[in-house]
């Protein structure tokens, strides 16, 4: 099964995907993580992407589509797409390379997003995601790696990212609704509840 997590910054796409890959045989593909890897490596792609990411803007479609196409060549089995597609052009390109069985629209408010994003901490070593609202330590409880705050996780950039989501990505809700693969989940509330709801939807999509 190939599934997309659609939702604004901080909706919980990455957190939910990380938990689901441990419970299923799906692979997590996050274009945000792939871009941050390129930035870390200092590649030309990373240098170019950084200026867009820092300003809360989308990286150009042709760059993202090329990066995903290359990754898919070396990926087997079902995928959870996290943060991709983000424009109708990206969705149309994805349609030519993979069959999408399910799209989960994780909707929530800008207030929830700002409080979550401003408290997010990520492990430098294994990528585990935490939040200062429930985790106060500076090291990862899974691998003891150091936790850091993403450069684009500040209130000003988050507001811009939410605005970009509303204008450029939210039209994908109608795009996938028309294809009959869209399901909505209120992203606020307990993470375990969200996982249970998604797994129920996945089972009914399989049936």
Binding site for ligand AP5 (CB under 6 A): 7, 9-15, 30-32, 35, 52-53, 56-59, 64, 83-84, 86, 90, 116-117, 119-120, 129-131, 161, 189, 191, 194
**Would you please indicate which residues are annotated as catalytic (active-site) residues?**
13, 86, 120, 150, 161
Shortest Å, Cβ 27 to ligand AP5: 16
- Using CA atoms, how far apart are residues 157 and 57, in angstroms rounded to an integer? 9
Shortest Å, Cβ 25 to ligand AP5: 21
- Using CA atoms, how far apart are residues 50 and 40, in angstroms rounded to an integer? 10
Shortest Å, Cβ 1 to ligand AP5: 20
Shortest Å, Cβ 163 to ligand AP5: 11
Q: Which is nearer to ligand AP5, 24 or 154 (CB)?
A: 154
- Using CA atoms, how far apart are residues 56 and 167, in angstroms rounded to an integer? 13
Q: Which is nearer to ligand AP5, 22 or 206 (CB)?
A: 22
Q: Which is nearer to ligand AP5, 32 or 202 (CB)?
A: 32
Count of C-beta atoms within a 10 Å radius of residue 4: 27
Q: Which is nearer to ligand AP5, 7 or 105 (CB)?
A: 7
């Amino acid at each position: 099964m190939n599934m997309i997590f659609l939702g604004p910054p901080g909706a919980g796409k990455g957190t939910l995907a990380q938990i689901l890959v441990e419970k299923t045989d799906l692979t997590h593909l996050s274009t945000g993580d792939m871009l941050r890897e390129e930035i870390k490596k200092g590649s030309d792609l990373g240098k170019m992407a950084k200026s867009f990411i820092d300003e809360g803007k989308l990286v150009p479609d042709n760059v993202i589509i090329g990066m995903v196409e290359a990754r898919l060549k070396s990926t087997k089995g079902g995928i959870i797409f996290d943060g991709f597609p983000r424009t109708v052009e990206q969705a149309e390109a994805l349609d030519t390379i993979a069959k999408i069985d399910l799209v989960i629209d994780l909707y929530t408010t800008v207030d929830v997003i700002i409080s979550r994003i401003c408290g997010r901490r990520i492990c430098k070593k294994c990528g585990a995601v935490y939040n200062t609202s429930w985790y106060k330590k500076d090291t990862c409880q899974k691998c003891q790696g150091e936790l850091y705050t993403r450069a684009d996780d500040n209130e000003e950039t988050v507001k811009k990212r939410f605005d970009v989501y509303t204008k450029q990505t939210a039209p994908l809700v109608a795009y996938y609704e028309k294809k009959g693969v869209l399901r909505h989940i209120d992203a606020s509330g307990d993470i375990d509840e969200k996982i249970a709801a998604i797994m129920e939807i996945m089972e009914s999509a399989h049936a």
